[in-house]
Amino acid sequence: MTGDQVGRQVVDFFMYFLREVIGDQDVYTLAAMDLSQAAGVISALEQFTTAANANPEAALSPIADARNNVISYGGFNDPQLQDIFSSVDLYSLAELTSSISTDPTPPGCRPGRDGCRQVLVIYEDHVEALNGTNGLSIFFPAHVQAFQSCRIQ
């Protein structure tokens, strides 16, 4: 069995368990990743932060708008937990902030026949409430105080 096949089995079993056995959870997702592709995503994030840092005044508004409109995970709308588990869909965030970067290709993607093809996410499944999610998220709290309180020293 290949790593790809194992990843698919794990995702399918996890989703089956949550849907059929637990049944009362309405917000969950899981993805299998090809970690050998992580360097490309890291490089794209570095290019993005370099572009944003080069002109922070121009980047602030698009990043803030994107943060408010991106698919978010964690916290389940509980104000006490929302910032601790504040992750966002990286692919969606990249699309919403594409005007900032000089590279229009979102992190973790390569151009393909159907537009942009993810290379880091091998396989992903999610509940209907998370339609539009792409299986790759990053920690991105809504305000700096939450980031500072959650930062590992």
* Token couple for 115: 């537009």
Who wins on pLDDT, 105 or 32?
32
Q: What is the CA radius of gyration of the chain?
A: 17
Q: What is the pLDDT of residue 111?
A: 46
Pair 55, 67: CB distance under 8 Å: no
Angle at 140 (CA atoms; ends 91, 84), nearest 5 degrees: 130
pTM of the model: 0.73
**HEC profile of 100-111:** CCCCCCCCCEEE
State percent of the chain over pLDDT 90. Answer: 7
Q: Predicted confidence band at 103 (pLDDT cuts at 50, 70, 90)?
A: low
Would the pLDDT of 104 be above 80?
no
Would the pLDDT of 148 be above 50?
yes
Q: Which domain holds residue 99?
A: 3-150
Q: Per residue in 2-61, pLDDT tens?
A: 888 999 999 999 999 988 888 776 778 888 988 888 887 788 788 888 888 888 888 888
Pair 6, 13: CB distance under 8 Å: no
Q: What is the pLDDT of residue 8?
A: 93
Report the distance separating Cα 92 and Cα 86, nearest Å. Answer: 15
Phi–psi pair at 32, nearest 5 degrees: -100, 135
Q: Find the mean pLDDT for residues 51-72.
A: 87
Number of domains in the chain: 1
Q: What is the pLDDT of residue 10?
A: 95
From the number of C-beta atoms within 10 Å of its C-beta (0-12, 13-18, 19+), residue 52 rates as middle
